[in-house]
């Protein structure tokens, strides 16, 4: 399983969820099933959701009992849950972002380190890829995206370089883009992050999903959210504060839970993970 994705903050999340035998849980981001399999081991039944067909196909191979699989976007968690008879559940987990499988497969176009088409869709059925954005957006629009969602201070120079380069030759691969960006800022991580967020509408999906998830929870049950960058974490923190202000429950993690040095050493991709937990009233 570890080749597909190594679960992050597994022990901390499972403890946070306080799994009870025979109860229902939702894993809104199935990925390689790391968190789902742990819940199943402890006797829970799981609804595993993912937009990526590769994730569902991978997990299906293990033929796990008590795991219901659903392809869909977690922004529709309310509908997906009801359709599968998973309301008043005993816990919900969101482990946001991309799986290692998505990063490592060059054909998916997420990584600036692997040559591949500039795609970045988590849901293979989405209409717009990163290369389409790079092709059609104006310099001003690129600048805005790179500033807002990549927090890149050289956004304007990079946008300018992209517009110049594409007038000579289309920018279609991860390496095409990484080369142009790297020449301006010495790294391309932030620009890739910004494009990924836009292609998958990641921040809006999280903001829409969390209130719906809270509604699906039973009394005194918990919502666990793992995020991987500050923009995402800010949304989770803000939503949890809103829930508390509306007297819908309490924040369990005043400060987010982060991986131990040992976990980071074993799995460098856990480095930026932050787990926040909310308990419904």
Contacts with ligand SAM, residue ranges (CB under 6 A): 5, 7, 29, 31-35, 49-52, 55, 73-75, 95, 97-99, 122, 205
Considering the complex, what minimum distance in angstroms separates the CB of residue 12 from ligand SAM?
13
34 or 91: CB nearest ligand SAM: 34
7 or 16: CB nearest ligand SAM: 7
How many alpha carbons lie under 13 Å from residue 31 in its C-beta half-sphere?
Answer: 25
Considering the complex, what minimum distance in angstroms separates the CB of residue 71 from ligand SAM?
9
74 or 112: CB nearest ligand SAM: 74
Considering the complex, what minimum distance in angstroms separates the CB of residue 31 from ligand SAM?
2
How many alpha carbons lie under 13 Å from residue 45 in its C-beta half-sphere?
Answer: 12
Considering the complex, what minimum distance in angstroms separates the CB of residue 120 from ligand SAM?
11
Considering the complex, what minimum distance in angstroms separates the CB of residue 187 from ligand SAM?
22
Rg (CA), the chain: 19
Considering the complex, what minimum distance in angstroms separates the CB of residue 111 from ligand SAM?
14
56 or 163: CB nearest ligand SAM: 56
99 or 159: CB nearest ligand SAM: 99
3 state SS for the chain: CCCCCCCCCHHHHHHHHCCCCCCEEEECCCCCCHHHHHHHHCCCEEEEEECCHHHHHHHHCCCCCCEEEEECCHHHHHHHHHHCCCCCEEEEEEECCCCHHHHHCHHHCCCCCCCCECCCCCCCCCCCCHHHHHHHCCHHHHHHHHHHHHCCCCHHHHHHHHHHHHHHCCCCEHHHHHHHHHHHHCCCHHHHHHHHHHHHCHHHHHHHHHHHHHHHEEEEEEEEEEECCHHHHHHHHHHHHHHHHCCCEEECCCCCECCCHHHHHHCHHHCCCEEEEEEEC
Considering the complex, what minimum distance in angstroms separates the CB of residue 23 from ligand SAM?
19
178 or 209: CB nearest ligand SAM: 209
Q: Strand 89-95: give its sheet, edge to edge.
A: 67-71, 45-50, 24-27, 89-95, 217-227, 274-280, 249-251
14 or 142: CB nearest ligand SAM: 14
5 or 23: CB nearest ligand SAM: 5
Considering the complex, what minimum distance in angstroms separates the CB of residue 58 from ligand SAM?
9
């Amino acid at each position: 399983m570890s080749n597909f994705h190594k679960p992050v903050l597994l022990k901390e999340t499972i403890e946070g969820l306080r799994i009870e035998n025979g109860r229902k849980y939702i894993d809104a981001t199935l990925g390689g099933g790391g968190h789902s399999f742990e819940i199943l081991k402890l006797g829970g039944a799981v609804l595993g959701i993912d937009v990526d067909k590769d994730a569902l196909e991978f997990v299906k191979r293990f033929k796990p009992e008590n795991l219901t699989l659903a392809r869909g976007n977690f922004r529709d968690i309310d509908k997906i849950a009801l359709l599968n008879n998973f309301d008043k559940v005993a816990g919900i987990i969101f482990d946001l972002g991309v799986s290692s499988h998505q990063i490592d497969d060059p054909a998916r176009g997420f990584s600036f380190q692997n040559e591949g088409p500039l795609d970045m869709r988590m849901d293979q059925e989405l209409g717009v890829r990163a290369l389409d954005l790079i092709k059609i957006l104006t310099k001003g629009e690129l600048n805005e995206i790179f500033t807002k969602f990549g927090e890149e201070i050289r956004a304007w120079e990079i946008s300018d370089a992209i517009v110049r380069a594409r007038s000579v030759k289309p920018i279609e691969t991860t390496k095409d883009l990484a080369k142009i960006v790297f020449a301006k800022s010495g790294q391309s991580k932030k620009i890739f992050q910004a494009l990924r967020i836009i292609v998958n509408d990641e921040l809006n999906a999280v903001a829409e999903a969390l209130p719906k998830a809270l509604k699906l929870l039973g009394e005194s049950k918990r919502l666990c959210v793992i995020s991987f960058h500050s923009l995402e974490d800010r949304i989770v923190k803000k939503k949890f504060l809103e829930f508390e202000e509306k007297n819908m429950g309490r924040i369990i993690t005043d400060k987010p839970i982060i991986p131990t040095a040992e976990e980071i050493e074993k799995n460098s991709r856990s480095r930026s993970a932050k787990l926040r937990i909310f308990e419904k009233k």
